[in-house]
Chain A
Amino acid sequence: MAREAPLYELQGISKSFGHVEALKDVDVQVYKGEIIGLVGDNGAGKSTLIKILSGIYAADSGTIRYKENVVRINNYRDSQALGIATIYQDRALVDSVSIYRNIFMGNELLTPYRFLDKRKMRKEADYVLNESISIGIKSSKQMVGDLSGGQKQAVAIARAIYFRARLLLLDEPTNALSVKESRQVMKFVKNLREEGISSVFVTHNLLHVYTIADRFVILSHGEKVGDFKKAEITMEQLEHMIVTGRSHVN
């Protein structure tokens, strides 16, 4: 079956830190509106891969393509310009200011006289919070510090989608969350898929990733050891592969 070309494509990505080979010749494709579970044991190279996509590290070799064109990601701005948004574990939010100021920090909307257009920022923030990810936040004037962990995650994601992210990189997004909050976060990642936004979900929690992902990329000691659609693999097989670093097929 001829499938459309991948939105983002990593080919032959390698990265070493001194003598440690964090990634060895890794290929990953991300298609539009797809949730990828990036799994593997500690030290498998998951975070390195995320950091290459978000512009924190540069790969030693390999190419990155966006819509079939070779691109370079040298810094955060390059990554953002390609529609990639990283949702960090600490969420990169400021607790002591309001939600709308967080969403627009660094990208403030201004009036013609160069003052903050607070009304428009609040309106846009309320819209994106209520329409796209509804998570029970009453007003974007609330302080981020007063929100629950899941709501904070939602604000971070709202910021990403407001600025037209096409690929969310979620690094352990459910780590510090309660069961209920994790479910909420996973729900709106799923909703975003309906809108054509892709996600790469990095987590240790197999149950979470198995529930949500469409495809799994398994890393072990810096190498890709498996790439399966959900229908092709059971959760037990996935767990087995993460532990042993070997494909269940052979």
Chain B
Amino acid sequence: MSKVQKKTKHRTGNLKKVLRYKDISIVIITIALFTIFTLVNKKFLTKENLFIIVKTTPELGIIAIGMTMLIISGEFDLSVGSTFAFAPFIMASLSERMGLHPVFALIMGIIVGVGIGFINGIITTKVGIPSFITTLGTMMAWRGAVLLASAGFPQAFQRDLPVARLFAGRLSGFPVQFIWFIVFAIIMWIILENTRFGNWTYVTGGNRNASVALGIPVDRVKIINFMIIGGLAALAGSIQVFRMGSAYSNAGLGMELQAIGATVIGGTMLTGGSGTIIGTIMGTIIIFSVENIIILSGAPAFWFRTFVGVIIIVAVSAHVLIQGRRD
């Protein structure tokens, strides 16, 4: 954990200091929601049920980690849902139709994702149009491409391959993909908090002009973050293919907004320059807990979107109330 947190433990009497710790509000929100959910349904906080949440979280979570870094650097990516379908479709096709070794097929799929990110980054920074527009365009373009390539039919992929078990198997009952999610979260956390590139990501999003004035290559920082989220979206989509045994052309529909939702629930500011990986992990878990409690309570699943929408607004309001507005 960070030094800030260690230090706050020494000053537990000083509430103000504790409230300064940047992840405190998401911790409070998570505890509050979990308490409410447990009161609503006693089955919520059982091991079996938490396993269900843990199994479904990683695919969105891995994308949300990339989204967090990109938003911190001051940009968005709306095309991740399409990348989530397109790149794994390439992987499945290369492996099943062309007979390429599945591991190489996976690597190719991830290269496709990174390439999509690179294109988004180049267009956004070098042409100078907002990433919202760039990625809105590429979102439609890549979705169209995967629909065209698949003609709307799923592309089968063998589920029991070693590579599939490596990413979406079980380790004495525990879903392996959650371990990968945590591994990537830790890697990205280290990059963000403890490397020069991470520092550049924060300052580029926080004040672009200042960063340019101090010689930071802001365009390169943004392009690399676009490439990271592209690669992570391809990997997350591949995990779903490994899990389901098929690549679907409509996979990941609406996922870009869920990923942005998880990121902002976790306390990342859409204005750039601030945000944390830990917050995003909690934000993702919250989204799936909402889905889970709805199913547990026997309410119609259609409530899911409504609830997630409400939670986004409540969570961001709570961040503002707990930590104050930073203008």
Residues of chain A lying within 8 A (CB to CB) of residue B199: 97, 101, 104-105, 108, 116
Chain B contact residues (Cβ within 8 angstroms of A): what range? 20 to 34
Say yes or no: A77 contacts B215, CB within 8 Å: yes
Could you say which of A16-24, A86-94, A186-194 contacts chain B?
A86-94
Say yes or no: A105 contacts B211, CB within 8 Å: yes
Known: A101-B199, A105-B216, A115-B194. A96 touches B210 (CB 8 A): no
Say yes or no: B273 contacts A105, CB within 8 Å: no
Known: A77-B215, A88-B213, A105-B216. A96 touches B194 (CB 8 A): no
Interface membership of chain A positions 142-176, coded 1 if the CB is closer than 8 angstroms to chain B and 0 otherwise? 01010000000000000000000000000000000
> Counting CB contacts under 8 A, is B196 at the interface?
yes
B3, B196, B210: the one within 8 Å of A116 (CB)? B196
Residues of chain A lying within 8 A (CB to CB) of residue B15: none
Residues of chain A lying within 8 A (CB to CB) of residue B196: 108, 110, 114, 116
Residues of chain B lying within 8 A (CB to CB) of residue A116: 193-196, 198-199
Residues of chain A lying within 8 A (CB to CB) of residue B211: 94, 105-106
Say yes or no: A105 contacts B209, CB within 8 Å: no
> Counting CB contacts under 8 A, is B269 at the interface?
yes
Interface membership of chain B positions 109-134, coded 1 if the CB is closer than 8 angstroms to chain A and 0 otherwise? 00000000000000000000000000
> Counting CB contacts under 8 A, is A127 at the interface?
no
Interface membership of chain A positions 69-102, coded 1 if the CB is closer than 8 angstroms to chain B and 0 otherwise? 0000000110000000000101111111100011
A116 to B326, CA, bound (A): 26
Residues of chain B lying within 8 A (CB to CB) of residue A76: 213, 215
Residues of chain A lying within 8 A (CB to CB) of residue B269: 96
Minimum distance in angstroms from B221 CB to a CB of chain A: 11
> Counting CB contacts under 8 A, is A123 at the interface?
no
Number of interface residues of A (CB under 8 A): 26
Could you say which of B54-62, B165-173, B200-208, B247-255 contacts chain A?
B200-208
B4, B190, B210: the one within 8 Å of A94 (CB)? B210
Say yes or no: A97 contacts B206, CB within 8 Å: yes
> Counting CB contacts under 8 A, is B274 at the interface?
yes
Minimum distance in angstroms from A126 CB to a CB of chain B: 13
Interface membership of chain A positions 128-150, coded 1 if the CB is closer than 8 angstroms to chain B and 0 otherwise? 00000000000001010100000
> Counting CB contacts under 8 A, is B299 at the interface?
no
Residues of chain A lying within 8 A (CB to CB) of residue B205: 96
Say yes or no: B206 contacts A95, CB within 8 Å: yes
Closest to A93 in B: B210
A116 to B195, CA, bound (A): 5
Say yes or no: B209 contacts A141, CB within 8 Å: no
Interface membership of chain B positions 266-294, coded 1 if the CB is closer than 8 angstroms to chain A and 0 otherwise? 00010011100000000000000000000
Minimum distance in angstroms from B262 CB to a CB of chain A: 20
A92, A95, A108: the one within 8 Å of B213 (CB)? A92
Say yes or no: A96 contacts B209, CB within 8 Å: no
Report which residue of A101, A106, A108, A141 has the largest number of chain B beta carbons within 10 angstroms of its beta carbon: A106
A102 to B202, CA, bound (A): 10
Residues of chain B lying within 8 A (CB to CB) of residue A118: 3, 194
Residues of chain A lying within 8 A (CB to CB) of residue B213: 76, 88, 92
A77 to B215, CA, bound (A): 8
> Counting CB contacts under 8 A, is B310 at the interface?
no
Minimum distance in angstroms from B6 CB to a CB of chain A: 12
Interface membership of chain B positions 291-311, coded 1 if the CB is closer than 8 angstroms to chain A and 0 otherwise? 000000000000000000000
B195, B209, B273: the one within 8 Å of A90 (CB)? B209
Say yes or no: A105 contacts B214, CB within 8 Å: yes
Report which residue of A90, A94, A107 has the largest number of chain B beta carbons within 10 angstroms of its beta carbon: A94
A92 to B202, CA, bound (A): 14
Known: A105-B203, A108-B199. A95 touches B326 (CB 8 A): yes
Q: Beyond the given A94-B210, A97-B274, A115-B194, could you list 17 further A-B residue pairs with CB under 8 A, ordered by the A residue number? A: A76-B213, A92-B210, A94-B202, A94-B203, A94-B206, A94-B207, A95-B206, A96-B272, A96-B273, A96-B326, A97-B199, A101-B199, A104-B199, A114-B196, A116-B193, A116-B195, A141-B4
List residues of chain A with CB under 8 Å of any chain B CB: 76-77, 88, 90-97, 101-102, 104-108, 110, 114-116, 118, 141, 143, 145
List residues of chain B with CB under 8 Å of any chain A CB: 3-4, 190, 193-196, 198-200, 202-203, 205-207, 209-211, 213-216, 269, 272-274, 326
Interchain residue pairs with CB less than 8 A apart (20): A90-B210, A91-B210, A92-B209, A92-B210, A93-B210, A95-B273, A95-B326, A96-B206, A96-B272, A97-B199, A97-B202, A97-B273, A101-B199, A105-B211, A108-B196, A108-B199, A115-B190, A115-B194, A116-B195, A141-B4
Counting from the closest, the 3 A-B pairs by CB-CB distance are: A94-B206, A96-B273, A106-B214
